[in-house]
Amino acid sequence: MKQFVALSGLPRTGSTLLSAILSQNPNIHAEGNSAVCQLMWDMQQSVGNSEQLKANNKDLLDAVVKPIPHTYYSDIKKPIVVDKCRSWTLPANIQMLNRYFDNTPKVIVLVRPVVKIVASFMSLRKANGWQDLEAGLLDNGSEPIMRSLAGVEWARKNNNGEFLFVSYDELVDKTQETLDRIYEHCGWETFEHNLGNIVNTHKENDDVYNLVGQHDIRPQINRRTIDVELSNELIDRCNRLDEWSLYENKNVGSQFN
């Protein structure tokens, strides 16, 4: 692995689509949701809080945490890994990126208006037979939306050039232009992608998430029909979050860079 790039941001923003497109490049490995961030955090906490290590004056943090990404991707021979995890934008995890990687990784942050994210989740729930389509989606500190939203907002306020913000609309409506921005941000050599035949070569088992179809993509880029009705209370909550976090701005790329 010569370069580690973090793919983060909000859910239902096209991360599976983007990963599938990037995977067409023979130099790039981009799979589904990764456990690297969680494994690094768990090991850091375990080592940092170990009474035995403290009692014996052993500082093993770098020695045991730093190899985790390389171990996780030990079977991958491609020089570039795009690691997908919504938690990368949280401050503590950015600290891990800065500490355990020789060169601070670039971070691609995908965003979308909260009301559209919520509608997309409700549509998925409806297709999977859920009864209460709205339950818990915007509970304070909850996954997958609210915790990710806090991380994205922190990244927006603390962007020193490592974060590239990409909106769902940009990815879908201006795909090639968006890919050009991503390649420039990451310092990659240009590659001609086939946007007429996109295949997800790293399919996840969506049964684990109890949302079958969550990571399905189609060969050509287009928008899905969302046939759900949000309550007025939920719409108001979404609008307040969108106003607070500025994701409604149509020119996301220039706003955040």
Residue 251 above 60 pLDDT?
A: no
Question: Residue range 242-256: average pLDDT?
Answer: 49
**pLDDT score of 252:** 41
pLDDT tens digits along 182-192: 999 999 999 99
- In this predicted structure, the answer to whether residue 166 has a pLDDT above a threshold of 70 is yes
Residues paired with residue 111 on neighbouring β-strands, in sequence order: 167
Given this model, what pLDDT does residue 247 score?
45
Residue 256 has pLDDT above 80, yes or no: no
Question: Tens digits of per-residue pLDDT, 197-244?
Answer: 999 999 889 898 889 988 999 999 999 889 999 999 999 999 999 876
* In the predicted structure, residue 115 carries a pLDDT above the cut 60: yes
The continuous run of DSSP H or E covering 252 comes out as helix 252-255
User: What is the model's pLDDT at position 2?
Assistant: 87
Q: Which helix (H) or strand (E) holds 32?
A: strand 28-33
As a whole number, the mean pLDDT across the chain is 92
Residue % of the chain over a pLDDT of 70: 94
Burial of 121: CB neighbours in 10 Å, binned 0-12, 13-18, 19+:
buried
Alpha-carbon dihedral 90, 236, 14, 80, rounded to 10 degrees? -10
Buried residues in 58-97 as b, exposed as e (16+ CB within 10 A) = eeeeeeebbebbeebbeeeebebbbbbbbbbbbeebbebb
Which pLDDT does position 255 carry in this prediction? 32
Taking the C-alpha atoms of residue 183 and residue 163, their distance in angstroms, rounded to an integer, is: 13
Range 52-74 average pLDDT: 94
